[in-house]
Structures are given as C-alpha cells and as structure tokens.
Amino acid sequence: MPEPHTIALDPRPIAADTIPYTIPVMLSKIAAGFPSPADDYIEGRLDLNEHLILHREATFILRISGWSMRDAGIFDGDEILVDRAIEPADGRIVVAALHGELTVKRLRRQNGVVSLVAENPDFSPIILQEGEECLIWGVVTRVLHKV
C-alpha cells in the first residue's frame, strides 16, 4: 500500500511587495505535434507574479510528498500554489486539514456526502463523517514541477 499523501508543513507565503519578475513571451506558438518554423519575435514580457497569482496575500507554496494525486498531474516533490481566498467548490483540488495534518485531494460534494478523493486508484476516498472536523485550507491553482 502506498504511503499516505501529505504536504510538507512549511508553507511559504508570496510576499506582497514582491518585485515583478518578467520573462519574454514569444510571438508564435510552439507545436506539440508537427514542428513549425521558429520565430525570433518577442511579443512582450510576462510578469510571473501577475500571471500565476490571483490573491497575493492569500497565496502560498506547498511541497508535495506522495503519489495520491499523480493522475491529476501532481507528483511527489512538486510544488503547488494554494490560494486561501478562493471558495472551495465540488470538483476543485483543495488542501484540507484533517486530523491535524494537511492533505491535497479533490473535493466532492454529492447527495449530501462530502469526500476528499485521491487521483490515484491505489488510494481510497476519504468520506467525511458527520461531526468529523475537516477544514478546507485552500484551493490549488497551479502545479510546479521539474521535467
């Protein structure tokens, strides 16, 4: 049985006074199928802070440990951006505090039943029982991983 999916408990906040960091954006799109001629034209610059973060004061980076969300493209060692200002909704990937630990799962609310569902068939869903304390800590907005 795989180990439980946990999140390292060292959330790093996104500083409100972060200096814009821009990178060039190329004018042409790149083909993921058949190759296309390369263009050397720069369309403009993209500020990663503006592009990746909606609520700067409420956004944190967390590091993933485990494989329960692998089929959603979240792998062991990845980092996720978590926005605490976004309302959690059915189908969203969330960070939840359950039994004193943080976990990342897909939130499901169906027929009055709330569950946290892994995106890996090796993990069973966590069906929340009445009276069980579970705090949705934030909503995952981006996944950062090395290739």
Write out the DSSP string of 90-119.
TT-EEEEEETTEEEEEEEEEETTEEEEE-S
| Same domain as 136, residue 124 | yes
Residue 1: inside a domain: no
| Same domain as 125, residue 105 | yes
Is residue 125 within 8 Å of 109, Cβ to Cβ? no
Q: pLDDT digit string (tens) for 23-44?
A: 666 555 556 766 656 556 667 7
> Is position 36 annotated as part of the catalytic site?
no
pLDDT at residue 122 in the model:
96
Catalytic residue among 65, 68, 115, 146: 68
Range in 29-33, 60-64, 84-88 the model is least confident about = 29-33
| Same domain as 45, residue 64 | no
> Is position 68 annotated as part of the catalytic site?
yes
| Same domain as 101, residue 37 | no
Catalytic residue among 105, 115, 124, 146: 105
C-alpha 61/C-alpha 140 separation (Å) is 10
What secondary structure letter does DSSP report for 57? G
| Same domain as 97, residue 75 | yes
* Confidence check: pLDDT of 18 > 80: no
